[in-house]
């Protein structure tokens, strides 16, 4: 079993924020692959399905971004999984809007959701960093990530989320492949 976690903040107020692109990716995967309806468990919303022949639990922590590790850690402990079974989808300001990078391990890069995950599960999990662009100056970062995507962003965002959903099975297979 694998756990795919999309990071974001709960509630309609944050629904279209750049910070919630992880939730958007999880929703796209659930829709594309006919996962179960979302239900509440592990301080989050969960949906179950199959990707690349592997059973996958999608989780959207409802603890707010800065405490994401509590929810994801609870799910991993329940299923007796280690961090290698985890793939996390989240926003990355240091990537150009529309770019995606996948890696295993690393630091938090100042991302509080990732910092929380590292504290609760270690850092040896797969990260799918989704570029939302940088506002240009450090003082504007908070407002940028908590701001909604512009209408013009929807063109690339919808295509990108579709591509992530289409290729989620490859991430599942890569996570379970022997090293």
Report the CATH number that the domain containing residue 70 is assigned in CATH: 3.40.50.1470
Which tokens in the block code for residue 162?
């579709």
Question: How high is the pLDDT of residue 110?
Answer: 87
Question: How high is the pLDDT of residue 83?
Answer: 95
Question: How high is the pLDDT of residue 148?
Answer: 95
Beta strands in the chain (DSSP E): 2-6, 39-41, 44-51, 54-61, 86-92, 100-104, 126-131
Give dist(CA 154, CA 112) in Å, integer. 25
Phi, psi of 151 (to 5 degrees): -60, -40
Phi, psi of 93 (to 5 degrees): -75, -20
CB atoms within 10 A of CB 77: 12
71, 59 contact by CB (below 8 A): yes
67, 116 contact by CB (below 8 A): yes
Question: How high is the pLDDT of residue 173?
Answer: 86
Range of the domain at 44: 2-176
Give dist(CA 179, CA 174) in Å, integer. 9
Question: How high is the pLDDT of residue 138?
Answer: 87
* Contacts of the segment 136-144: beta carbons below 8 A, 24+ positions apart: 141/93, 144/18, 144/93
Query: What is the value of pTM for the model shown?
Result: 0.95
Tens digits of pLDDT across the chain (179 residues): 999 999 999 999 999 999 999 999 999 999 999 999 999 999 999 999 999 899 999 999 999 999 999 999 999 999 999 999 999 999 999 999 999 999 999 988 889 999 999 999 999 999 999 999 998 898 999 999 999 999 999 999 999 999 999 999 999 988 665 54
Active site residues: 19
57, 26 contact by CB (below 8 A): no
Count up the domains in the chain and report the number.
1
In angstroms, what is the C-alpha Rg of the chain?
A: 15
CB atoms within 10 A of CB 47: 21
Q: How would you class 125 by CB atoms within 10 Å of its CB: exposed for 0-12, middle for 13-18, buried for 19 or more?
A: buried
Give dist(CA 179, CA 177) in Å, integer. 6
């Amino acid at each position: 079993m694998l756990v795919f976690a999309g990071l974001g903040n709960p509630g309609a107020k944050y629904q279209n924020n750049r910070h919630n692109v992880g939730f958007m990716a999880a929703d796209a995967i659930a829709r594309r692959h006919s996962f179960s309806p979302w239900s509440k468990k592990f301080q989050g919303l969960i949906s179950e399905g199959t990707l690349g022949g592997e059973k996958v639990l999608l989780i959207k922590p409802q603890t707010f971004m800065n405490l994401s590790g509590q929810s994801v850690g609870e799910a991993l402990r329940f299923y007796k999984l280690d961090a290698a079974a985890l793939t996390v989808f989240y926003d990355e300001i240091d990537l150009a809007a529309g770019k995606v990078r996948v890696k295993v391990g690393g630091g938090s890069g100042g991302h509080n959701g990732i910092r929380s995950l590292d504290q609760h599960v270690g850092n040896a999990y797969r990260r799918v960093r989704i570029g939302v662009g940088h506002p240009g100056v450090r003082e504007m970062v908070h407002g940028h990530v908590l701001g909604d995507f512009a209408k013009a962003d929807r063109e690339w965002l919808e295509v990108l989320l579709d591509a992530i959903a289409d290729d989620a099975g490859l991430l599942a297979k890569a996570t379970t492949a022997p090293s």
